[in-house]
Amino acid sequence: MLLLADPARYAESRRSELHAVADRLLDGRQFVLGGMVKEFELAFASFIGTEHCVTVASGTDAIEIALRALGCEGKEVLVVANAGGYSTISCLAIGATPIFVDIEKSSLLVSVSSLIDLVSEQTGAIVITHLFGLAVDCAEIDKLVRVKLGRSVPIVEDCAQAHGAKVGKIRVGAQAMIACFSFYPTKNLGALGDGGAITTNDDALAERVIHLRQYGWTQRYFQGVSGGRNSRLDELQAGFLTVFLRDLDERNDKRRKIVKKYVENGASVVQGGFANSEKYVAHLAVCTVKDRDILINKFDEAGISTGVHYPYLDSEFATTQHLVKQLLPNSWTARDKIVTLPCFPEMTSEEIGLVCSTISQCQQHFETT
Amino acid sequence: MLLLADPARYAESRRSELHAVADRLLDGRQFVLGGMVKEFELAFASFIGTEHCVTVASGTDAIEIALRALGCEGKEVLVVANAGGYSTISCLAIGATPIFVDIEKSSLLVSVSSLIDLVSEQTGAIVITHLFGLAVDCAEIDKLVRVKLGRSVPIVEDCAQAHGAKVGKIRVGAQAMIACFSFYPTKNLGALGDGGAITTNDDALAERVIHLRQYGWTQRYFQGVSGGRNSRLDELQAGFLTVFLRDLDERNDKRRKIVKKYVENGASVVQGGFANSEKYVAHLAVCTVKDRDILINKFDEAGISTGVHYPYLDSEFATTQHLVKQLLPNSWTARDKIVTLPCFPEMTSEEIGLVCSTISQCQQHFETT
């Protein structure tokens, strides 16, 4: 069965380097926040183009800590409802109220008009998710917010699915006030376990994040900042990520080429029109389809895994229903029409060919692009 | 300089086994909550003697998640103030109110009379920290709580410093309703990064913990339980811990023998009277001293690191001061008189001898035992 993502293939190709990282850990003798974390933070900040990178234990922790660093406790935070729940969980963890923004039909990314409609004096932050690998232009959103409110509202970029994507020459993660990354294994840049990071150009925010990721300590054992937790990236994962970062742009290119072939064979990949653009890093090949169950079944018969990203909206749980103020028509429509096809850089040309021929055979089940 | 703890020595002695774990990770191809996590959870539950072990990302997360699983949000939680802040941070993270209990002068462990004084109908849970490696008898506390309130209050064992210690034949972690472990590298059972676990015999609690450690998911992507986060133990760390668990009892024995020698040479190790007992696993050799600065300086001159566990009480931060209802006289007195000497199983006999001779030379600075 062809998996949706198979990070073990890439890891396998780096086996000897991973053993070298393990040796570096033992030789370095510092197992928490040591030299390999520092080295990766410098390398990743340099890659993204920010002054600071502070690693944490996961992408969800990154959003939670970024929102805390911005002082969003008790405030409203704008989020989309179709991004798997991570931003909403982070809001709820700090006592902020997620306000659900609808999405664009075409890209499944945040609807800027819905967002501008909902932004208000109560908004503590706006989480912008570069969903499925396509970068949202945060500068444009900031401009429109300033027109409405006469001031900016902090934007938190959620880059968990878009490592390396660019708006113009600027990478996601360097577009707004603060940005969050996940290094979950299947991500474009993935560790071999959980991991996350926050990037920012703001010195004071970076310092707050450094305190918050370690108990709110302003010095060892002294809780100078409230809301701190334990959220640290492992040395080993940092070492692996430094190795993997070198190939990121090249592997993103391979992802785009796969999506391009899917589009050529008739798949309605929702962001497929960007397959030639660095704005897009093809994290997930999400398509819109007419009858999802039939299509999933056809692919299953062909030995191809499919997924749904995501089967639920953040706004439909018992824990969040009472917060819903909007109807979110586009989010609901998309929820039942999306299906994700395999897309990862280590797919063989045979596997890509198999997916393409299955797409061709299922032509009538895809939405017209 | 002799370090307080040096987990790299032990890791070094297991280098080839650690590489084998890395190979198992790559061969197993499942990088999050895979076979090595499952294997460790089974092995650790069996070692502790509980039905369930659920691993999480850190010891602090373990306490937070255990308190959530018990439904302590908005309730009072009894904690000691001299255990480094981790329980208090966990309370604050879930919106529970930490109520600070004083300690016994002799052991620096929770004062049972202070605890019984403070337990009330508002108490959602009692965190019992087996501090520095000495087990508290939770059954005794439960008995006294039932005498006062006519019912039990859930006890959360904080076993971060007492892996393997026993009360009678029962290990800490199996004494109360739910228990929390940290696998920070310097712990008696330490990973090569962050890690934690929760043990319990209660099926429903274990199930809640399994949901809470992964976004509150009751099925993939479905947030059926509120208060969930991402808190997972890495596969690699689980693999290392399975290897290290085999030596735990033997290494605890070495720790006790070191403390015994310190006591014989005149150090006032506060829990040193238990150096022949399995109730004690000698996590930290904490002594009470007359003039801490002089003693620290003497040890420093001899090339021996010392520490203070801990330099602050949980009750003295801006974030917690308003919660203090008690004077905590014993906690405050101990705070300024404690000093920690090196104690780890891989100390050489020369190093132990050096500490012992320095103790002898500093005799007058230790408190009379």
- Collect all residues of chain A within an 8 Å Cβ-Cβ radius of residue B95: 95
Task: HSE, CB side, 13 Å, CA atoms: give it for residue A356.
Answer: 16
Nearest-Cα residue of chain A relative to residue B28: A8
A203 touches chain B (CB under 8 A): no
Do residues A342 and A305 touch, judged by C-beta distance below 8 A? yes
Do residues A130 and A172 touch, judged by C-beta distance below 8 A? yes
Q: Which residues contact B111 (CB under 8 A, 6 or more apart)?
A: B101, B102, B103, B104, B330
State the pLDDT confidence band at B15, using cuts at 50, 70 and 90: very high
Report chain A's C-alpha Rg in angstroms: 20
pLDDT tens digits for range A80-112: 999 999 999 999 999 999 999 999 999 999 999
pLDDT tens digits for range A296-330: 999 999 999 999 999 999 999 988 988 888 789 99
pLDDT tens digits for range A142-176: 999 999 999 999 999 999 999 999 999 999 999 99
Q: Between B64, B192, B221, which is nearest A31 by CB?
A: B192
Is B19 in contact with A22 (Cβ distance < 8 A)?
yes
Please list the alpha-helical segments (H only) found in B184-291.
Answer: 203-212, 235-245, 248-264
Q: Between B8, B221, B312, which is nearest A310 by CB?
A: B221
Nearest-Cα residue of chain A relative to residue B23: A15
Is A229 in contact with B22 (Cβ distance < 8 A)?
no
Q: How far is A30 from chain B (nearest CA, A)?
A: 7
Nearest-Cα residue of chain B relative to residue A62: B230
ipTM of the complex: 0.97
Q: What is the DSSP letter of A323?
A: G
Which of residues 315 through 344 in chain B touch A, CB cutoff 8 A? 317-320
Q: In DSSP terms, which residues pair with A127 in a beta bridge? A: A156
Do residues B132 and B270 touch, judged by C-beta distance below 8 A? yes
Residue B368's pLDDT is: 82
| Residues A34-38, mean pLDDT to the nearest whole number | 98
Q: What element of type H or E holds A54? A: strand A52-56
Nearest-Cα residue of chain A relative to residue B191: A31
- The overall average pLDDT reported for chain B is 97
DSSP B61-75: HHHHHHHHHTT-TTS
pLDDT tens digits for range A231-240: 999 999 999 9
A42 touches chain B (CB under 8 A): no
- Structural domains for chain A: 7-245 (3.40.640.10), 248-365 (3.90.1150.10)
A353 touches chain B (CB under 8 A): no
Residue B369's pLDDT is: 62
B87 touches chain A (CB under 8 A): no
pLDDT tens digits for range A15-29: 999 999 999 999 999
Q: Between A7, A26, A312, which is nearest B221 by CB?
A: A312
- Collect all residues of chain A within an 8 Å Cβ-Cβ radius of residue B218: none
Residue A15's pLDDT is: 97
| Residues B38-65, mean pLDDT to the nearest whole number | 98
- Alpha-carbon torsion, ordered B330, B336, B342, B343, to 10 deg: 0
Residue B131's pLDDT is: 98
**Closest of B303, B307, B304, B328 to residue B316, by C-alpha:** B328
**How much of chain A is helix, strand and coil, in % rounded to 5?**
40, 20, 40
| Residues A180-207, mean pLDDT to the nearest whole number | 98
- Collect all residues of chain A within an 8 Å Cβ-Cβ radius of residue B312: 221-223
Distance between CA atoms of residues B45 and B36, nearest Å: 14
| Residues B207-228, mean pLDDT to the nearest whole number | 97
pLDDT tens digits for range A246-288: 999 999 999 999 999 999 999 999 999 999 999 999 999 999 9
Q: What angle do CA A10, A107, A121 make, to 5 degrees?
A: 110
- Collect all residues of chain A within an 8 Å Cβ-Cβ radius of residue B6: 29
Q: What is the DSSP letter of B227?
A: T
Does position A369 have pLDDT exceeding 80, yes or no? no
Is B193 in contact with A31 (Cβ distance < 8 A)?
yes
Strands (E), A150-240: 155-158, 166-167, 170-171, 178-182, 196-200, 217-219, 222-223
State the pLDDT confidence band at A338, using cuts at 50, 70 and 90: very high
Residue B326's pLDDT is: 79
Is A89 in contact with B58 (Cβ distance < 8 A)?
no
Q: Between A59, A192, A232, which is nearest B194 by CB?
A: A232
| Residues B200-219, mean pLDDT to the nearest whole number | 98
Q: What is the DSSP letter of A6?
A: -
- Collect all residues of chain B within an 8 Å Cβ-Cβ radius of residue A31: 7-8, 11, 185, 191-193
Other beta carbons less than 10 A from residue A210's beta carbon: 18
Is A229 in contact with B93 (Cβ distance < 8 A)?
yes
pLDDT tens digits for range B300-345: 999 999 999 999 999 999 889 888 887 899 999 999 999 999 999 9
Best of A194, A230, A317 to disrupt the B interface (most B CBs within 10 Å) is A230
